[in-house]
Structures are given as C-alpha cells and as structure tokens.
Amino acid sequence: MKRLALTAFVIIGLVFIFQAQTKHTISEKFGGDIVFDVSADGLHGLIAETKDQGSCDFKDAAALVAKPENHSEEGKAFTDWRVPTISELKILILQKTIVGGFASAKYWSSTKDVSKFFEWSMGKVGQTKNTQSFLVRSIRSFKSNTHLAQVYLTCTFVYNHSCHFKYS
C-alpha cells in the first residue's frame, strides 16, 4: 500500500511540473481568448479579447471592461481584464489580423499622463480630451506558475519509502 501511495505522489508531482512548463504561442486560444504577445520563454504574455467591450469616454473605460456581459463567452470566465497601455496597444496593432474584430476607429489606452488612443484607420497614436467616446478592447496578462516549475521531487527509499516534495 505504501508503494502505491508513493507512486501516486510521484505521478502527481510530475504532472504539476509538466503543466507548469507549458509554453504558449502567439495566436493560441488560451486564458479567455487569443494570445497576441509572449515572452521568449513562452511562459508570460498578453491575451486580447476577440471583441470590443463597447464605446465610452476615458474615465468609464475600466468600468466597461469590468462587466462580464461585455466579453466573449470565453472571456467571461476571467475577471482580470484591463484597458491596455499605449505600448500594449501598439503590440496589439501588430497582431490585429490574429486577434481580429477591430473596427476602423479610435481605441482607448489606459495611459494616464495624457489620454492616449490609437486610431486604426490612420495607424497612429493620438491624444485628446477625456470626454470623447472611443472604443475599448481589453487585454489580460498571463504568467505561468513559475513556482511550480521550480518544484523538484525527491523520493527517498530509506526504511519507510517516504516521498518528499521540495520547493526552491
């Protein structure tokens, strides 16, 4: 019985390690919608909603993104959607054909120093008063459970055949 329990612990530990090291790629459906930016190791990145959350002025953009009814079916499962920064919006622009669903219009960014937006039809960043109504497309970050990737399993078969999980 001890040997069976030990085997189960080893298998569970290896499953956790394998899952933690899953690498993600651009255009992959993951975490609520489409991955549009990833780190070199594939463990961190950005996910974009595949539909606009609506149109509003700058001060209401975050509230618009927070409402689950403004998201795709996949996106409703997550609560950490946010308005992208101007830098993130520029990356999103480069991947617009992968993400899809964009109107030829102006989109808000969350950049607060000056209310910045991106105008798709002109392909440029602009700044304006907070009171104008522009579209909002939300994004979310993902970060793999790197602490699980650092888990290593040590099984000692001394006297009691115990299995020890150590975290680094």
Q: Taking the domains of the chain in order of start, what are their residue ranges?
A: 1-22+147-168, 24-143
**What pLDDT is recorded for position 95?**
93
Quick one: CA torsion of 125, 126, 129, 130, rounded to 10 degrees?
-10
What is the CATH T-level fold of the domain 24-143, as seen in this structure?
Answer: Mannose-Binding Protein A; Chain A (3.10.100)
Query: So what's the pLDDT on residue 84?
Result: 95
Looking at residue 113, its pLDDT comes to 62
Contact between 65 and 53 under an 8 Å Cβ cutoff? The reply is: yes
pLDDT at position 3, please? 56
Provide φ and ψ at 148, rounded to 5°.
-70, -30
pLDDT tens for the 168 residues of the chain, in order: 555 444 444 444 444 444 556 899 999 999 999 999 999 999 999 999 999 999 999 999 999 999 999 999 999 999 999 999 989 998 998 898 999 988 888 899 998 766 777 776 667 788 887 888 999 999 999 987 643 333 334 434 444 455 444 433
